[in-house]
């Protein structure tokens, strides 16, 4: 596509924050230290996790940049950034989470394939741009449409990003048309992140934001939007990011037996402590994040200071000075909550966190029961170990 190109090598990569923990240099995949996530409700752009499949695209000329809307539509269209900026801008605070977040812990049960994420392949940002539902009206597709007049049922997003999994072709993914045309789903064509233009790592100049859904569907560096009859047949829709039972291995896997993963399940993580910690006896204050997909708010976060024998309910919060109520209009339905709990600890123990969303979904107790060969959706109870060091008497 004119104006935006995918480099063939990694010589034009953007600068990155030095505190990022790099899991892969080429392509660049990195996450912040877990403590950075709880420093603020909105994650700074530089400390937002980076998930890439190839060299970062380069915009040579924004005046020539166009995104096409085509496929099963009555009037195909090409939009410039000027055209997109003329549409009503919508702001949504939404958490993005890679489906592989916490994969490293799952791999300790049994080896899995994928980027070795710790607990920080997640971030919360304020996204700005027109709603996809408004954009699709420009090509004759009304709001709350499940089947377009020409038979389209899915909206495919195609990136400029070229990746080896697509045999050198573009990264792509799709969502159902009914979701794309639902204003309440708040799917955006975003050109802003935290009030500033997107940076290159996060999709400059234009990306999709699909709130409440795994990050893989929020396609960056948008090239085209295709209205199609069946869901996208790209690699990351059909041969990745699907949830299989622990019995499936690389010898007996049949990708066609599972649907592409969309919403992410309920999740919580302790961020103020590492996996192993040595402390003095006394009060321990625990901070972390909790989130659930599909716009489901967090009803409760339970924290145990004795390995799961007894529990205390954590304080939940989002914006400063505004009480968090899971399904209230004052709360950000697509965003994480931060939580806090404290207790006196006098001996070596395990601290555990688990969250419950407004549909009463709760995290599974053990990772073994949700182990899968790609290491996705590790939402088991998060556990950290505390070694209490008593001063010499």
Instruction: Encode 270-283 in three state secondary structure.
Output: ECCCCCEEEECCEE
DSSP 374: T
CATH of span 4-239: 3.90.420.10
pLDDT of residue 290: 98
Residue 151 is predicted with a pLDDT of 98
Residue ranges with strand state E in 217-274? 222-228, 267-270
Backbone angles phi, psi at 121, to 5 degrees: -85, 55
Question: Which 3 state secondary structure label does DSSP give 37?
Answer: helix
Q: Is the pTM higher than 0.95? A: yes
Residue 271: name the closest of 36, 43, 93, 99 by CA: 36
**Beta-strand runs (E) in 32-179:** 58-59, 67-71, 77-79, 90-97, 122-129, 154-162, 170-176
Neighbours of 44 (CB within 10 A): 14
Task: Give the three-state DSSP class for 41.
Answer: coil
Q: According to the model, what pLDDT value does residue 1 have?
A: 47
Per-residue pLDDT of the chain (393 residues; tens, 9 = 90+): 469 999 999 999 999 999 999 999 999 999 999 999 999 999 999 999 999 999 999 999 999 999 999 999 999 999 999 999 999 999 999 999 999 999 999 999 999 999 999 999 999 999 999 999 999 999 999 999 999 999 999 999 999 999 999 999 999 999 999 999 999 999 999 999 999 999 999 999 999 999 999 999 999 999 999 999 999 999 999 999 999 999 999 999 999 999 999 999 999 999 999 999 999 999 999 999 999 999 999 999 999 999 999 999 999 999 988 899 999 999 999 999 999 999 999 999 999 999 999 999 999 999 999 999 999 999 999 999 999 998 864
> Is the N-terminal amide bond of 100 cis, ω within 30° of 0?
no
CA distances from 163 to 7, 103, 196 (A): 11, 22, 27
Residue 23 confidence (pLDDT): 98
Q: What CATH class is the domain 267-388?
A: mainly beta
List, as one string, the DSSP characters of 350-369.
Answer: EEEEEEEETT--B--S-SGG
Taking the C-alpha atoms of residue 39 and residue 219, their distance in angstroms, rounded to an integer, is 27
pLDDT of residue 320: 85
Rounded to an integer, what distance in angstroms lies between the CA atom of residue 25 and that of residue 23? 7
Q: Domain spans of the chain?
A: 4-239, 267-388
Q: Do domains 4-239 and 267-388 have the same CATH topology?
A: no
**Tokens at 94, concatenated:** 């939404």
């Amino acid at each position: 596509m004119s104006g935006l190109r995918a480099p063939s090598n990694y010589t034009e990569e953007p600068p990155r924050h030095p505190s990022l923990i790099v899991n892969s240099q080429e392509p660049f995949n990195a996450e912040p230290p877990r403590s950075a996530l709880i420093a603020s409700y909105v994650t700074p752009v530089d400390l937002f996790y980076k998930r890439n499949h190839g060299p970062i695209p380069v915009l040579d000329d924004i005046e020539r940049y166009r995104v096409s809307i085509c496929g099963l539509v009555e009037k195909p269209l090409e939009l410039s950034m000027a055209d997109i900026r003329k549409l009503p801008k919508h702001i949504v605070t939404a958490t993005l989470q890679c489906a592989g977040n916490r994969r490293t812990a799952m791999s300790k049960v049994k080896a899995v394939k994928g980027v070795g994420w710790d607990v920080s392949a997640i971030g919360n940002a304020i996204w700005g741009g027109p709603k996809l539902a408004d954009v699709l009206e420009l090509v004759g597709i009304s709001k709350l449409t499940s089947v377009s007049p020409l038979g389209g049922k899915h909206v495919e997003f195609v990136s400029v990003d070229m990746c080896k999994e697509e045999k050198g072709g573009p990264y792509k993914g799709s969502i159902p048309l009914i979701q794309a045309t639902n204003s309440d789903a708040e799917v955006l064509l975003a050109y802003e992140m935290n009030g500033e233009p997107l940076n290159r790592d996060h999709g400059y100049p234009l990306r999709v934001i699909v709130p409440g859904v795994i990050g893989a569907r929020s396609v960056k560096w948008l090239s085209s939007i295709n209205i199609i009859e069946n869901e996208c047949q790209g690699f990351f829709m059909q041969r990745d990011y699907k949830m299989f039972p622990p019995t499936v291995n690389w010898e007996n896997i049949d990708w066609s037996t599972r649907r592409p993963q969309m919403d992410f399940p309920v999740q919580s993580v302790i961020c103020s402590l590492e996996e192993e910690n040595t402390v003095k006896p006394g009060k321990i204050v625990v901070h972390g994040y909790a989130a659930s997909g599909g716009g489901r708010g967090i009803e409760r976060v339970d924290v145990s200071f004795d390995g799961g024998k007894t529990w205390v309910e954590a304080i939940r919060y989002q914006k400063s000075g505004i009480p968090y109520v899971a399904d209230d209009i004052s709360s950000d339905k697509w965003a994480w909550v931060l939580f806090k709990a404290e207790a006196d600890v006098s001996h070596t123990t395990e601290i555990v966190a688990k969250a419950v969303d407004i549909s009463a979904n709760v995290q599974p107790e053990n990772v073994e029961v949700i182990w899968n060969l790609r290491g996705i959706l590790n939402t088991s109870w998060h556990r950290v170990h505390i070694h209490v060091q008593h001063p010499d008497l």
